[in-house]
Copies of this chain bind each other. A is one copy, B any other.
Amino acid sequence: MRLENKREVQSSVKDERLIEMRRDQMIKGAVSLFKQKGFHRTTTREIAKASGFSIGTLYEYIRTKEDVLYLVCDRIYDEVRVRLHDMELDGGTLQSLSRGIAHYFKVVDSMQDEVLVMYQEAKSLSKDALPYVLKKELEMTKMFETLIQKCVDEGELVMEQDEIHLLAQNIFVQGQMWAFRRWALRKYNIDQYTDRQTELLLKGVRGYQAAVNKGE
């Protein structure tokens, strides 16, 4: 079973540019509401109002309330991914890896609300829509795997396949953690958080210390 990259959300409006525009408004409004009260406690009328149009218009661009959630999740992932594209995936040095991490953390930091929402509400997606979102998450962890793999290929790191996979997961989760555990991380700002986590993440990998020393 192949999975298309997008799940179409049906709209009874034809004009593609209009759809784009209205959905932009919708997503913006919905994120702010979902953040405050969560998906279930937010009503479709509130979404419509926050989006700047009527309930009838809202339903011209979606089919069900869940579609809004899907659009929100979809959009957030897309944006995160686009922003991550600046990352130099072909570095192969520990420096480029830690720059990648820092970059990712920065993106999460600047999209805290969105990440938090997606993180907490994605599970409310139906069995139908969930795979599309998970697929995007997979792509993101893959990026970190690639980054790490490059370092291994270049001999900068020594790690087994299993460890690479897990390290990538850890990086990804620690990024999200910055959004969903803010209450426990108040003592750090994003730079401190990034530094500390990078240390903890990489200090242990064989070769890191050498690299640091060299840099000194």
Contact = CB atoms under 8 A, between A and B. Distances in A.
Given A200-B163, A204-B199, A123 B38 contact: yes
Contacts of A40: 40-41, 124
Given A173-B173, A183-B134, A203-B205, A124 B38 contact: yes
A204 B200 contact: yes
Question: Mostly helix, strand, loop or mixed at chain A's interface?
Answer: helix
Given A169-B185, A181-B169, A184-B169, A204 B197 contact: no
A120 B180 CA distance: 11
Nearest to A116: B123
B167 A200 contact: yes
A181 B170 contact: no
Interface residues of A, number: 39
A188 interface: yes
- Identical copies in the complex: 4
A211 interface: no
A18 interface: no
A185 B193 CA distance: 25
A203 B200 contact: no
A205 to B, nearest CB: 7
A134 B202 CA distance: 30
A196 B163 contact: yes
A177 B144 CA distance: 18
Nearest to A184: B169
Interface string A47-74: 0000000000000000000000000000
Sort A-B residue pairs by CB-CB distance and give the 4 closest, nearest first.
A204-B204, A203-B204, A40-B40, A166-B196
